[in-house]
Amino acid sequence: MELIQLIIGGIATGCIYGLVALGFVLIYKATEGVNFAQGDMMMLGAFVALGMVNSEFGALPFIPGVILAAIIMGGVGYGVDRFVVRQIFGQPHFALVILTIAMGFVFRFAAGAIWGFTPLVLETPFAGNTLNIGGIIIGYEDLTTIIVTALLTLSLWAFFQFTKLGLAAQASSQNQMAAYIVGVPVHRVNSMIWALSGAVSTIAGVLYASKGAIDPNIGLLGMKAFAAAVIGGFGSLPGALLGGILIGVVEPIAARYLPGGISQMSPYIIMLAVLVTRPNGLFAQIYAKKV
């Protein structure tokens, strides 16, 4: 019984990891770049939503407030790509890694300067309510997290599979030059994807904030999301989600049944194990370079 309770809580936490991981994967799938600031984008998204919704700030109703926050963060994502990332278009991946790490620090500073470093609580309509199914207690926020995540993943998958923008993004990631030649506006597609990723991480941030207080350092959660993305293969949307859930479930179980310290290490140990055994992730998409 206790185990089931742990697993359900783990799945909900894992969904949040998974959502942040989705943000990584979106950008990676479309632009082949890795955004190390994803965790900080989630943090900033949570704060922007908090700024819209909480009574001492914007005091908007919850749903419109969150949607507005997602739109703003979409704009931030677009802007980051348009004014910063695009400047290094075509440079080695390593440059982007460092650039986005630096961007993360800028976000963290911005959030700290505006909302301060003391933890704040987002006011949500579903906080505190629980559902009791045969002795197992599920919080409304956990239930919402799981449902929203499932819907979001499904629609993102459909986006890449069926929409013009999604297909264009896939094309430009495989060969930017060729995509240009056949008329894909590579720059704009990349910026749109960054915007989308910003919006998705806002949702993740709001769900995270619904489970507890937030401060500008929660962006470090991005590292766990990273592990989730790697376990899932880094190019696969469902993979990222599954990776997140795996980590989310393993963590509380390790904390409960294994000696101290192992729990904090567990996401990274799993990730290293995956990297070592399958250097390209579980759902690998990378093939050897052609000579």
Partner 1 sequence: MKVIFKTSYDNDIDLHEDWWDRGKMIALVAVMAVLPFFLGEYYMAEITNTLIWSLAGMGLMLLVGHTGQASLGHAAFLAIGAYTDAALMNVGVPWLVAFPLAGIAAGVFGAIVAIPAVRMSGIYLAIATLALFVIVEEAIIIAEPITGGVGGLFAPSITIAGIDFDRYASLNNFYWLCLAVVVLVTWLYANLMRSPTGRSFLAVRDSEVSARALGINITRTRSLAFGLSCAMTGLAGALMGHFITFFNYELFSVFISINLLLVVTIGGLGFIQGAFFGAILITAVPQLIAILRDGAMSTLGLDLSMPGLDTLVFSVILIGFIIYEPTGLYGRWLKIRFWLELFPLARRDMFRRQKTYLKTERMK
Q: At what angle do helices 164-174 and 2-31 cross, to 10 degrees?
A: 70
User: Residue 59 in 3-state DSSP?
Assistant: coil
Residues 6+ apart with CB under 8 A from 280: 233, 286
Q: Which H, E and C letters describe 156-168, residue by residue?
A: HHHHHHHCHHHHH
Instruction: Report, in Å, the least distance between residue 147 CB and partner 1.
Output: 30
Q: Which of 219, 194, 217, 223 is nearest to 205 (CA)?
A: 219
Using CA atoms, how far apart are residues 124 and 122, in angstroms rounded to an integer? 6
Q: Which is nearer to partner 1, 34 or 60 (CB)?
A: 34
Using CA atoms, how far apart are residues 214 and 21, in angstroms rounded to an integer? 19
Instruction: Report, in Å, the least distance between residue 81 CB and partner 1.
Output: 13
Q: Which is nearer to partner 1, 155 or 174 (CB)?
A: 174
Using CA atoms, how far apart are residues 229 and 237, in angstroms rounded to an integer? 9
Instruction: Report, in Å, the least distance between residue 68 CB and partner 1.
Output: 27
φ and ψ of 171, to 5 deg = -65, -45
Instruction: Report, in Å, the least distance between residue 266 CB and partner 1.
Output: 10
Instruction: Report, in Å, the least distance between residue 226 CB and partner 1.
Output: 6
Q: Which is nearer to partner 1, 65 or 235 (CB)?
A: 235
Q: Which is nearer to partner 1, 3 or 109 (CB)?
A: 109
Binding site for partner 1 (CB under 8 A): 32, 34, 84, 87-91, 93-95, 97-99, 101-103, 105-106, 108-109, 112-113, 117, 173-177, 180, 223, 226-227, 230, 234-235, 260-261, 264-265, 268-269, 271-272, 275-276, 279-280, 285-291
Q: Which is nearer to partner 1, 10 or 216 (CB)?
A: 216
Instruction: Report, in Å, the least distance between residue 273 CB and partner 1.
Output: 10
Using CA atoms, how far apart are residues 33 and 39, in angstroms rounded to an integer? 15
CA atoms within 13 A on the CB side of 160: 23
Q: Which is nearer to partner 1, 117 or 257 (CB)?
A: 117
